[in-house]
Structure 1
Amino acid sequence: MDLDDILGPRPGDPLAALLAQDLDRLSVAELEARIIALEAEVARCRRRIDGAAQHRASADALFKS
């Protein structure tokens, strides 16, 4: 179990704030721009995950020798 499951989201958590935003007041163009920005952020997160996995694999290989 994660601490967030017990305590809930941290105050000022940007992800929680993003998910709570009211989309009803946004235009189609604004929603499309939001999707583009979020897709770019997903790609950035995936690159970070890949980099961390490669770093971990390198460290594991170094210490297994």
Structure 2
Amino acid sequence: MAIWNTMFLPIIIFIAAWDMVWKGIALWSCGKNKQLVWFILIFILNTAGILPIVYLIFFRKNKR
């Protein structure tokens, strides 16, 4: 069992770091654009970075 624990630990750490980066970028953008619903959804739901990426690609307001 110890082999499985050491094998999956780097994967779990990578996924956690991946999620924190994307969540941070998306939350920053939501707060700046005053999109409260998206901010709450991204903050509460743990989706391993999928929901923040969807928000950043499709729903973020353009800077133009």
When normalised by structure 2's length, the TM-score is: 0.44
In terms of Rg, which structure is larger? 1
When normalised by structure 1's length, the TM-score is: 0.44
> Higher relative CO (CA 8 A, sep ≥ 6), structure 1 or 2?
2
